[in-house]
Amino acid sequence: MTSPILVALDFPDTAPAVALAERLAPELCRLKVGKELFTRGGPQLVERLQGMGFEIFLDLKFHDIPNTVAGAVRAAADLGVWMVNVHAGGGRRMMEAAVQALRPYEKPPLLIAVTVLTSMSDEDLAELGYGESAAERVRRLAALAQDSGMDGVVCSALEARDLRTHRGPDFCLVTPGIRLAGDDAGDQRRVVTPAQALANGSDYLVIGRSITGADDPLAALERVHAEIA
């Protein structure tokens, strides 16, 4: 069975990221490479991690005009990543362009849309002029993403149960803001434990500090597996 765990390599440089990866096991997790690390290490880092046996979620949250996003998604596919994401807020034409860009690939990456960042609260959305709660906006954007041909969305596990009900069993739900019981929530506002997230309908769990900040990252990863077993 494939692991649902995506370890977030949220490091400021490549050396600690590679050092952490060397302490993990590809059969127990995939790795998430975000904006800061990719800006430092580039495609070469992704290829190095893939060479170590890891599948990569390239978390760059593309949000631009349709043609630009299509080209960026195509570049990610050429790099061989397992998953890539865009911002659902870019709208239907942007998401459809990304979907079309991957049509020629025999084994394209999973294409996921970000709904509402898990760092954002209802108050943050109100300040931006949105008259709907985080849960309502997530529901709206997830419906639009599915209608645009996306494979799934990034959402809080608190919204996963509702999305699973409304978007069906085959729509992929990727949930950050996952913390082991007793861990600090950090800058995330909407957080749950791994077991709660899977029970709510999440397919993949993005876990950062609970693993990367542990004295023994592999033991922490194994603890996650034990919790969700």
pLDDT at 229: 86
Whether 35 sits among the annotated catalytic residues: the reply is no
pLDDT at 177: 80
Whether 184 sits among the annotated catalytic residues: the reply is no
pLDDT at 184: 60
Whether 170 sits among the annotated catalytic residues: the reply is no
Residues of the chain with pLDDT under 70: 1, 181-191
Beta bridge partners of 56: 31
pLDDT at 2: 80
Q: CA 193 → CA 146, 182, 196, distances in Å?
A: 26, 9, 5
Per-residue model confidence as pLDDT tens digits over 168-205: 999 999 999 888 866 665 555 556 889 999 999 999 99
pLDDT at 118: 77
pLDDT at 200: 93
Summarize the annotated binding site for substrate as residue ranges: 10, 32, 59-68, 118, 179, 188, 208-209
HEC sequence for 119-169: CCCHHHHHHCCCCCCHHHHHHHHHHHHHHCCCCEEECCHHHHHHHHHHHCC
Catalytic residue among 13, 35, 64, 187: 64
pLDDT at 158: 83
pLDDT at 187: 52
**Domain boundary assignment for the chain:** 5-228
Q: Does domain 5-228 have CATH number 3.40.640.10?
A: no
